[in-house]
Amino acid sequence: MFGRLIRFAWHSVLKNRRRTVITSLAVGLGLAALMFTDALMVGMTEHMIDQTTNAWMGDAQIHRDGFRETGRITLTINEPDSITEILRTDSIVDAFTFRIISPASLQSTMEMKPVTMIGIDPETEPTVSMLETAVDSGCYFGGDSTDLLIGYKLAEDLDAGLGDLIVITAAEADGGLSSNLFFVTGICHFGSDDLDRYTAFININTAESMLGLEGRFHEIAIRFPDSELGMDESLPFWSRFSICGNKAQGWATLATQVKAMLNMTRMSTLITAVILFSLVVFGIVNSLFMSVYERMYEFGVMKAVGTRPGTISVMVILEAFWLAVISMILGSVMGLVIIWITWNTGINFGNIEVSGVIFDSAIHPILKWGGIWIYPFFTLLLTTAAGVYPGIHAARLNAAEAMRKSL
């Protein structure tokens, strides 16, 4: 009996092929748009996380408690040797590097600019950040204590070029001032205004001697196997290294504006899904009501010969099911094709910076397994469910009135 109803519903769907095609295309386009939007948001999220962690920050950082809030150069990491030993044996730590951070002023022959001076370890820094690959002209650190890397915007502000002499002045830990001569050996291009205009990089050993911080550091930047570990607030890593007055934090805590953007992205995807699914439901309900009113005489005859109301209701719901199947297939195919095309070409938003995240390259949609089945499944489920109300309406038709109205 049920098999006959399924076949009958299929033939009913094919009776008005134009309406079936139009309705299926409308629902399918909604599904394809939703699949593409989700894949694009996933790609954008991956890009934001990658830019946040790989450019400079790393997946996690360790500071002395209070250093990030005050920037005081005397707040160096406690027990750096023991922290280093634990980091080397930690299974989730792929790499780490030490940094010294201090406000300073840079003076060229033409200009003077306030910057953040960062002392880095030339050997371990490339394992955590993109500093080495960001060198656009000149070269990375060559081992000389006077090597200096600056951003291209800072170079323009100082009217300085490769090989030019720069004087860096910074406050020492004991309260005095220290000035050293440096030569610009490399000019970097990060794409971030903070790094390109307001940051200067020197050798960590030189920074130690300048500030009187022999053997002490302000920051340990850490690389995990998976950047998403930096979002896991339950990770034991944070409590394990938040000891001796130090504080370990993931990138999601350090870059709260980026985390807020990620949450906003997820919420916008959810809102888009709700809107599109609502349109799908209304479209299917409208199409089925049109089918019911076109077949008033047919339903009237069925009621007159003793067909049960539940059978008529199930038949209309099965019609909605077949529309859902056709729409799901069309939408999934269109969605996959659109995602494949844009994955190959990418979508370029131009060279922009939003909340410290640089969009200087094309965004490639990423289709995850959940996006392949969740949206088509809900399309099938909701489209079929949309047939319940028209089915109930058809089941409640009075046989005599239905045949009279259709004449």
Question: Mean pLDDT of successive 10-residue segments in the chain (407 residues)?
Answer: 72 78 86 88 83 87 93 92 91 94 92 94 93 92 90 93 94 88 93 88 94 91 91 90 92 82 79 82 79 73 76 83 89 92 82 63 81 85 84 75 60
**Residues 195, 315 within the same domain:** no
Distance separating alpha carbons of residues 97 and 90, to the nearest angstrom: 14
Residue 236 in any domain: the answer is no
Domain-terminating residue out of 177, 208, 223: 223
**Is residue 246, in this structure, part of any structural domain at all?**
no
Other Cβ atoms within 10 Å of 236 Cβ, number? 10
What 3-state class would DSSP assign to 101?
strand
In a domain, 36, yes or no: yes
Residues 363 and 331 in one domain: yes
Query: Which stretch of DSSP H or E encloses residue 357?
Result: strand 357-359
Whether residue 152 is contained in a domain is answered as: yes
Per-residue confidence (pLDDT) for residue 407, from 0 to 100: 47
65 and 176 in a common domain? yes
Same domain, 107 and 158: yes
DSSP one-letter code for 297? H
Both 8 and 122 in a single domain?
Answer: no
Residue 40 lies in a domain: yes
Cα separation, 96 vs 221, whole angstroms? 5
| CA-wise closest residue to 210 among 164, 174, 241, 239 | 174
Give the C-alpha separation, 221 to 253, whole Å: 14
387 and 279 together in one domain: yes
Q: Are residues 66 and 209 in the same domain?
A: yes
Considering the domain boundaries, does residue 395 fall inside one?
yes
Q: Which domain holds residue 306?
A: 2-52+259-406
Q: Is residue 244 part of a domain?
A: no
- Where among 196, 223, 250 does a domain terminate? 223
Judge whether 333 lies within some domain: yes
Whether residue 64 sits in one domain with residue 47: no
* pLDDT at residue 154, as a whole number: 94
CB contact set of 84 (below 8 Å; sequence gap of 6+): none
What is the total count of domains within the chain?
2
**Within this chain, do residues 136 and 174 fall inside the same structural domain, yes or no?**
yes
Q: Which of 214, 110, 120 lies closest to 164, judged by CA?
A: 110
- Alpha-carbon 6 to chain mean position: 43
Residues 113 and 196 in one domain: yes
The pLDDT score that the predictor gives to residue 17 is 81
SS percent in the chain: helix, strand, coil, step 5: 55, 20, 25
Q: Which residues contact 302 (CB under 8 A, 6 or more apart)?
A: 312
**pTM score:** 0.75
Whether 218 and 72 share a structural domain: yes
Give 321's contacts (C-beta < 8 A, 6+ positions apart): 9, 380, 383, 384, 387
pLDDT at 250: 93
User: Is the domain of 12 the same as that of 80?
Assistant: no
Closest CA to 213 of 124, 125, 100, 303: 100
